[in-house]
């Protein structure tokens, strides 16, 4: 029997998130319409954390915004981060008093913000926060990410205590990676929802 749309127009065939909410944390310059985060937002009603400045992101401002949005949530959430959003999760978790509101995090394509060729817009994201995350996490990385060499991504995942998932040569795992709605990523998120903490 086919599923019928819900009252808000979202498909009822949503992933099983175990009653948890999902917050999308895009990276630098936000996620465009073909990005898997934007597709998940449209298909499943996940909430995007909007930042005031996507072009010149200030780490402290982004951390404060995440705290603000988390405090508005009525239930624990899964953080779904891409690129600079992963660095946001790491920095925020090291300073917040609200980490208990997060059940788990999916960290996709964390960039190396300590690279010599980083644009000046991102200089204030140095040094990378390396403390172990206080919630279950999975780091999804590509073997040919132009913004992070694989050994650096592996090192970050290890420091954060995140399970490492390598998905082959998928670039920056974004709208140019040919992922479409990225069902494999959604399956990882559902698995995380089943083992928070």
Kindly give the parts of the chain with pLDDT less than 50.
1-12, 197
Question: According to the model, what pLDDT value does residue 15 have?
Answer: 83
pLDDT score for 5: 31
* Those residues with Cβ within 8 angstroms of residue 153's Cβ, 6 or more apart along the chain or in another chain: 110, 112, 139, 141, 145, 164
Burial class (CB in 10 A: 0-12, 13-18, 19+), 117: exposed
For residue 16, the model assigns a pLDDT of 86
Q: Write down the pLDDT at residue 13.
A: 52
pLDDT, tens digit, 9 for 90 and up, residues 97-148: 999 999 999 999 999 999 999 999 999 999 999 999 999 999 999 999 999 9
In CATH, the architecture of 21-193 is: 3-Layer(aba) Sandwich (3.40)
pTM reported for the whole predicted model: 0.91
């Amino acid at each position: 029997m086919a599923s019928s749309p819900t009252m808000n127009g979202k498909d009822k065939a949503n992933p099983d998130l175990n009653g948890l909410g999902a917050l999308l944390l895009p990276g630098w310059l936000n996620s465009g319409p073909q990005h898997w985060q934007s597709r998940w937002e449209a298909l499943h009603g996940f909430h995007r954390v909007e930042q005031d400045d996507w072009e010149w992101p200030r780490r402290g401002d982004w951390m404060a915004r995440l705290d603000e949005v988390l405090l508005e949530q009525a239930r624990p959430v899964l953080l779904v981060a891409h690129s600079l959003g992963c660095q946001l999760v790491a920095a925020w978790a090291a300073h917040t008093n609200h980490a208990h509101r997060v059940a788990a995090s999916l960290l996709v394509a964390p960039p190396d913000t300590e690279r010599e060729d980083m644009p000046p817009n991102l200089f204030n994201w140095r040094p990378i926060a390396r403390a172990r995350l206080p919630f279950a996490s999975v780091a999804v990385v590509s073997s040919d990410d132009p913004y992070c060499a694989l050994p650096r991504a592996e090192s970050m995942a290890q420091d954060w205590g995140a399970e490492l998932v390598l998905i082959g040569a998928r670039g920056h795992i974004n709208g140019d990676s040919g992922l479409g709605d990225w069902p494999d990523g959604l399956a990882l998120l559902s698995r995380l929802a089943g083992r928070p903490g």
